[in-house]
Amino acid sequence: MGVESEFQKMADVSKIRKFKDAADYTKRFVVQEEIDKYLPGGRHFIDEAEINRCITDVAEKPVDPARVREIIAKSESTCETLLPEETAVLMSASSDPALFEEMCAAAGRIKKKVYDNRIVVFAPLYMSNLCVNGCRYCGFREGNDQQKRRVLTMDELKEEIDVLAGRIGHKRLIAVYGEHPTTSTEYIAETIETCYNRQVKAPKTGAPVGIRRVNVNAAPLPVEDLKVLKSVGIGTFQVFQETYNRKLYESMHPSWSVKGNYDWRTTCFHRCMEAGVDDVGLGVLYGLCDWRFELLATVMHARDLERWFNIGPHTLSFPRLEPASGTKVPEESPWLIDDDTFAKIVVIARLSVPYTGIIITARESPESRNRILGCGMTQLDCSSNIAIKGYSDFADEAHQEKDRQQFMLGDNRSIDEMVRYLASRGTITSFCTAGYRCGRTGGCIMDALKTGREGKFCKINAVLTFREWLDDFASDETRRIGDALIEKELAEIREWVPKFYPSVIKQYEATCRGERDLFF
């Protein structure tokens, strides 16, 4: 089938590891014992019958407002993951405008308690679009002749970093990879190291700048490979489930493809935890299936990770199907969702997994992202370009080319515009990457998040990194608005930790003088 042609194409490019054919590749990358270990007795933690029961018996039935308020209160006070049935109650309540308003307000309060008034920014960086899989909704799928294929070389990657870190000012990336023998573990590890090692000078101050955290979105890997990524300092490992509905999953991912194995994908994060990669990012490709099914399954997935490891998802992502080259699935799926439903999903997710980070990408329109800013979002990307080598090839940041990218972006705002917009809403843009560099990841951070302690740490680090970015990159107008916000933030910190405040100010003043990468 189609995969074979990809194996032929790679014959001369693969300096890394040779595979005879697709079966050989699958044998190496799908390890049955590593699936079975986390599905004891063959029982899957995604209990489809229970999900369907929650939908028909709870989400589709009227609810008692008192019960809804009880669940909201539980979420807010404990910050613990809800039971699927409780999430289903919120789903039902979300069609009542007054109750939904209460849910939105609570989602905003929880976000503030756990993450304070900050939004973390990052950029996607596509490393390669070679892929051996046949996902029916994706422009990168094997056999799509409309897609121009390429893999970044390390020199090209350095050029991308020069723009991302040196011109835009990003510190945090999500590196994205198709699934292919030439771009598997060794390539991923090499690209992560290259990102960390590249240092450039900031345009306004000449200060040294670089990438401080590389998160990865790639195919599921065996434990042995995950340990390699851990050893080079991977941040969060993201793998989107696409859909938790097994039957639909199998119809979207052909059985000849590596990705066709539902159990391998759903057990990926269990393996991550085993390998010590304890910041994991879950996601669903909304629009493929009933959103209620997906969100209930996400809650079950989070609960199973908590049950095994006492650590839940570091982040949840909410990609929505977007138009892509050579496929009609994104236009024709019967489950596409509108902006109102999208907002509901985010609010219910915030209440259901209160401690988790919520990432809303530039797939969304500016209106959609602006709308849900106060309802639980914690991370967004901006100045994004998802063409392979797009940052260094296109001086115009908003430029897009359908045949060079996986799908089309909806929000092309530059970082300067985004920072200004966020500041106008009293939100500080954080470039902080301290948590992961101080070992505040996985289990170490769970309690701190749930009790709101981490949010306070982050506020201080947000101020320091915001100061860096304003001095190194901001336009005059953005800097003016940002300066005023920092004054306000510092006043809050002084009130909150008067004894600690002198240490904060010391670091802040050093940052103003040009010292970089100071954090708590």
Binding part of the chain for ligand SF4, among 29-37, 133-141, 388-396, 500-508 by CB under 6 A, reads 133-141
**Within 10 Å of residue 155's Cβ, how many Cβ atoms?**
8
Work out the burial of residue 50: count CB atoms within 10 Å of its CB; fewer than 13 is exposed, 13-18 middle, 19 or more buried: middle
User: Around 215, how many Cα atoms within 13 Å sit in the side-chain half-sphere?
Assistant: 28
Which lies closer to ligand SF4 via its Cβ, residue 143 or residue 426?
143
Site string for ligand SF4, 255-294 (x = CB under 6 A): ----x-----------------------------------
- In angstroms, the Cα distances linking 493 to 8, 245, 367, 490 are 59, 46, 32, 5
Which lies closer to ligand SF4 via its Cβ, residue 140 or residue 318?
140
d(CA 361, CA 123): 9
Contact status: 152 vs ligand SAM (CB under 6 A) = no
For the CB of residue 292, give the shortest distance to ligand SAM in the complex, in Å: 19
Binding part of the chain for ligand SAM, among 43-51, 177-185, 244-252, 498-506 by CB under 6 A, reads 177-185
Residue 406 and residue 138 in contact, taking contact as beta carbons nearer than 8 Å: yes
DSSP structure string for 291-360:
HHHHHHHHHHHHHHHHHHHS---SEEE--B----TT--HHHH-TT---HHHHHHHHHHHHHHSTTSEEEE
For the CB of residue 162, give the shortest distance to ligand SAM in the complex, in Å: 23
Residue 426 and residue 118 in contact, taking contact as beta carbons nearer than 8 Å: no
* E strand intervals along 191-230: 199-201, 208-210, 213-217
Which lies closer to ligand SF4 via its Cβ, residue 333 or residue 352?
333
Which lies closer to ligand SAM via its Cβ, residue 184 or residue 465?
184
For the CB of residue 224, give the shortest distance to ligand SAM in the complex, in Å: 19
d(CA 229, CA 392): 26
Task: State the amino acid at position 453 in one-letter form.
Answer: R
Contact status: 178 vs ligand SAM (CB under 6 A) = yes
Binding part of the chain for ligand SF4, among 131-139, 272-280, 338-346, 369-377 by CB under 6 A, reads 131-139
Contact status: 212 vs ligand SF4 (CB under 6 A) = no
Nearest CA to 377 out of 363, 357, 362 is that of 357
Nearest CA to 382 out of 418, 434, 329, 330 is that of 418
Which lies closer to ligand SF4 via its Cβ, residue 169 or residue 178?
178
Contact status: 493 vs ligand SAM (CB under 6 A) = no
Contact status: 131 vs ligand SF4 (CB under 6 A) = yes
Among 127, 138, 195, 375, binds ligand SF4 (CB under 6 A): 138
Touching ligand SAM, residues 225-254 (CB under 6 A): 239-240, 242
Which lies closer to ligand SF4 via its Cβ, residue 141 or residue 420?
141
Among 35, 93, 119, 135, binds ligand SF4 (CB under 6 A): 135
Task: State the amino acid at position 33 in one-letter form.
Answer: E
For the CB of residue 449, give the shortest distance to ligand SF4 in the complex, in Å: 29
Q: What are phi and psi of 256, to 5 degrees?
A: -75, -15
d(CA 504, CA 236): 28
For the CB of residue 127, give the shortest distance to ligand SAM in the complex, in Å: 10
Contact status: 166 vs ligand SAM (CB under 6 A) = no
Q: Residues in the chain, how many? A: 520
d(CA 372, CA 364): 11
- In angstroms, the Cα distances linking 303 to 10, 70, 266, 300, 311 are 40, 20, 13, 5, 9
Handedness of CA 122, 168, 411, 192 (dihedral sign): negative
Handedness of CA 444, 450, 451, 454 (dihedral sign): positive
For the CB of residue 465, give the shortest distance to ligand SAM in the complex, in Å: 27
d(CA 413, CA 244): 32
Nearest CA to 31 out of 222, 277, 225, 284 is that of 222
Touching ligand SF4, residues 157-196 (CB under 6 A): 178-179
Contact status: 6 vs ligand SF4 (CB under 6 A) = no
Contact status: 128 vs ligand SAM (CB under 6 A) = no
Binding part of the chain for ligand SF4, among 130-138, 313-321, 351-359, 438-446 by CB under 6 A, reads 130-138
Contact status: 383 vs ligand SF4 (CB under 6 A) = no
Touching ligand SAM, residues 28-87 (CB under 6 A): none
Among 133, 327, 352, 412, binds ligand SF4 (CB under 6 A): 133
For the CB of residue 138, give the shortest distance to ligand SF4 in the complex, in Å: 3
Chain positions contacting ligand SF4, by CB under 6 A: 131, 133, 135, 138, 140-141, 178-179, 259
Chain residues that interact with ligand SAM, rule: CB under 6 A: 137-138, 140, 176-179, 217-219, 239-240, 242, 285, 319, 321-322, 324, 330, 363, 406-407
